[in-house]
Structure 1
């Protein structure tokens, strides 16, 4: 996976990396693949195994190697911290650690315990380019749809399908389920387990109505979010809504986009936009079981917007600050990316490949100082419009982003 390269890069600059992700996103598989690839004695062990060893044993066995510690429990954090601090005293020969907590609360405890020592990395579920690279080319009656030289691929590789990725989402067990119905049911169970677990450690109980807050976000996906209205409709306190939203963000279920410019007082006083990050989970919440249902559903536009926004933000690889733009005159841009190079990408997202950016998009681009303007659609053809704004399929748009 692409995350392996990012993880290796992180290890060059930090001795301890926390790998965060939604449950079942593939962290354990990634650790095993990374340790096998290194082939230098680096290893994977559980938190339970680690805390049974002394720091001297760990230092001797894994000097200058990578030790991946999976399934760390909250109660094990003090011992894990002690071992890591003792090992990192050996500056040149200290092992490098990759840590995986059992849940978001353990992740937060590790972050607090290892301030100044540890950096963190989010492992996103399978991404569009990853799925494309790992899949068989789509066959037509004339042969492969691509004219490029064939690449070695597993005979078990799935056929590339943007529609499957969009409908089912990017969690492996959902994406690779035997049928849409099996995938849908898996996602329903996944959401129920995630949202109805004991969250007392976060100060959240049944009175906060977390599952209903998530459903409210799904129902208003891609719209500016008024937490006061949400609180009124759900008959809970506004502070409770904010607490639930914060937890949903921390766990990686939703993404908050601030109004442009992100981080400014103006932005902080403006209502954000929330997206359910995994479209498969969005569709489970909305009861969308099939591609046919999706194309008939009122949420089609916001669903595609959610899918495209998440793919584009993840493809920017942390090098850009995402926001949306909307002013009092309702001129708007779906996604604005400010890159560390100061390039500013203004992106309008459309389901219909024939749809062009409107006048409000052009006004918004002038306001934010966009250096690149794009329309991203759900079709399979790249088009240059008369106005000079390229209308691109999603894969082409991802490849246009700065490295």
Structure 2
């Protein structure tokens, strides 16, 4: 059993394809006719005990979890294999807690982000940073149509999704918060300043940051702590996870708009970090490193079997690591040091002091070549 914690437009199509391949039963919990079938969920699901059952938007019906637990245990006693149920939906904190309590030892979680570079033909690569990875945005006929779609998605989140998670602030205030986070892309969290600007209390800001995180719209990158006796920054950095939504919140339609905007560097940094973390093995630990004396690493990843990796992000293929990067590497002594740039050249080359310059796509391919295939 797997719960895919995602709000990816296009996952319904994926579920239907899985269903076609395995003669599965597909139910959309938001569709009244499908929900009606689950009035007596135990009886209905028992009728399809030999098929894969896909339950989409399962967060709207958490009362199913105890039923699923009973059916899974019954199937185990009858010798039925695992993988009978595929649950799709938003992985909110409440949902994860409820599923974890009811299905402990019976469920595996898998995060399904928007489309990634490694999943796309080369002709779509130039648009991913600008438009993001949501299929309807990425594949739109024009940049303007793509932006319209993303603006509609943002409105849907503000008017429907966030209120369904208990949001009580007006949509206009929530949009201001989200837009402020976009302008501060990759910056340290200053909850007090956000609360002051929005005229709300800090507890409320924390709550909405958590909700945006649960909906996989916001990534909180935590500081990398070590036992070096250094004075380290303790506040996390925040990133709007999908670069297309970031640009929509800032009103940036074309690549030229992005390149001329002050957020361009942090936008590219967030895109690289999000891409790498989505491609990293699940057991990896990640964060950023910053000390009071200016030592700084944009992304630190500890990957099983590969050791500690320090990554400096530059948009230009001619960029050089900052002095603080070298100082931070002296602190942490990583096994691998990379300068990840936006160039299309797949060739990696040294830039001194053990640092390798490499394009984002090339580093991704290197990772894929070194790791075993899995779900």
Q: TM-score, normalised by structure 1?
A: 0.80
Structure-1 separation of matches of 2:232 and 2:71: 42
Q: Please tell me whether residue 204 in structure 1 is matched to residue 190 in structure 2.
A: no
- After TM superposition, the structure 1 = structure 2 runs for residues 353-364 of structure 1, keeping only pairs within 5 Å, are 353-364=317-328
Structure 1 residue 357 displacement after superposition: 1.0
Q: Distance in 1 between matches of 2:306 and 2:359?
A: 25
Task: Tell me the equivalent position of 1:98.
Answer: 86
Quote how far apart the aligned CAs of 1:351 are: 0.8
State whether structure 2 residue 238 is matched by structure 1 residue 274.
Answer: yes
Cα gap change, 1:207/1:28 in structure 2, threshold over 3 Å: closer, same or farther? closer
Unaligned runs of 5+ in 1: 1-15, 138-159
Q: After alignment, is 329-338 or 268-277 more displaced?
A: 268-277
Query: 1:251, 1:189 → 2: CA distance?
Result: 17
Cα distance change, pair 374–288 in 1 and its aligned pair in 2 (3 A): same
**Counterparts in 2 of 1:262 and 1:395: CA distance versus 1, 3 Å:** farther
Q: Does 1:194 align with 2:160?
A: no
Structure 2 counterpart SS, 1:88: helix
Q: What is the Cα deviation at residue 84 of structure 1?
A: 4.0
Query: Are residues 1:88 and 2:73 paired?
Result: yes
Cross-structure match for 2:26: 44
The aligned counterpart of 2:184 is: 220
Q: TM-score under structure 2 normalisation?
A: 0.86
CA distance in 1, matches of 2:87, 2:316: 43
SS in 2 for 1:206: coil
Shift of the alpha carbon at 1:241? Answer: 0.9
Q: Which residue of 49, 56, 63 maps to 1:62?
A: 49
Distance 1:394 1:276, change over 3 A: same
Q: 1:265-313, CA deviations, whole angstroms, 9 ceiling, x for partnerless residues? A: x999711111111000000011110011112111111111111111100
For 1:291 and 1:262, the matched residues in 2 are separated by: 39
Say yes or no: does 1:333 pair with 2:325. Answer: no
| Aligned equivalent of 1:17 | 2
* Compared CA separation, residues 343 and 100, structure 1 to 2 (3 A): same
Matched, 1:384 2:370: no
Which residue matches 1:305?
Answer: 269
Q: Cα offset for 1:207?
A: 5.9
Cα separation, 2, equivalents of 1:71 and 1:200: 16
Q: For the Cα contact (< 8 Å) 2:232–2:290, is it kept in 1?
A: no
Equivalent residues of 1:42, 1:62 under 8 A apart: no
Q: Distance in 2 between matches of 1:384 and 1:23?
A: 36
Q: Report SS of the residue matched to 1:196.
A: helix
Quote the residue 2:134 is aligned against.
171
